[in-house]
Amino acid sequence: METLTIELTYGQALFDAAKERNMTGVISEEYKAVGEVFSDHPSLKKLFIVPTLSAPVKKAVAKTVFEGRISHEMLNFICILIDKGRVGIWDRIEKQYEKLVLESEGVTKGILYTIVPVDPERLSALEEKAGAALGKNVRLENRIDKSIIGGTVIYVDGKLIDASVRMRLENMKQRIKQ
């Protein structure tokens, strides 16, 4: 539970600072870009996590790598994470930050499960339908799930909209048993 509090604390602090400077979108993009650098170069992220290097050395590396490529605010945030030993939870902080950004925009995030990827037009239509059903502005992430056989399953805010072939077969099976 402590980790969630830490993630939320840092995500909220970053969101508040970004919102104050009208930079929530910029910070979102930069956070993703730095995350991609960490993914592409895991040794760099490990360097920021390893306890044998001092924080000033780590911050000097961060400035060498990122200065001029990201905003001063984002670089400052990286340095704070280095000072506090929190670079290891980079991805989880990003999720909290993005959640706060979406909430501030009135958007709820959900997951769309399908057997094959859906095209952007179909995704948009499903977002509108789910949003209308839930009374919210919904943004869906498409994930593949071969077990649903066909159709769609949408999961948003703890609610499940199951229009899968698998569910239809289960329902039919239950009606036959009655």
Contact (Cβ atoms closer than 8 angstroms) between residue 110 and residue 156: yes
The SS3 call for residue 2 is: helix
Contact (Cβ atoms closer than 8 angstroms) between residue 97 and residue 137: no
Name the residue type at position 71. Answer: S
Identify the top-confidence range among 74-78, 96-100, 164-168.
Answer: 74-78
The span from the first CA to the last CA of the chain, in angstroms, equals 45
Question: Considering only the top CATH level, what class is 2-102?
Answer: mainly alpha
Task: Supply 157's token pair.
Answer: 């805010």
Name the residue type at position 158. Answer: G
Q: What is the pLDDT of residues 153-171, one digit of tens each?
A: 888 888 888 777 777 777 7
Q: How confident is the model at residue 1 (pLDDT cuts 50, 70, 90)?
A: very low
Per-residue DSSP letter, 176: H
Query: What size, in residues, is the chain?
Result: 178
Domain boundaries, the chain: 2-102, 107-177
Q: What is the pLDDT of residues 112-130, one digit of tens each?
A: 999 899 999 999 999 998 8
* Fold agreement (2-102, 107-177): no
Question: Considering only the top CATH level, what class is 107-177?
Answer: alpha beta
d(CA 66, CA 72): 10
- Please state which of the ranges 1-10, 46-55, 136-145 shows the lowest mean pLDDT: 1-10
Q: How confident is the model at residue 141 (pLDDT cuts 50, 70, 90)?
A: very high
Contact (Cβ atoms closer than 8 angstroms) between residue 118 and residue 142: yes
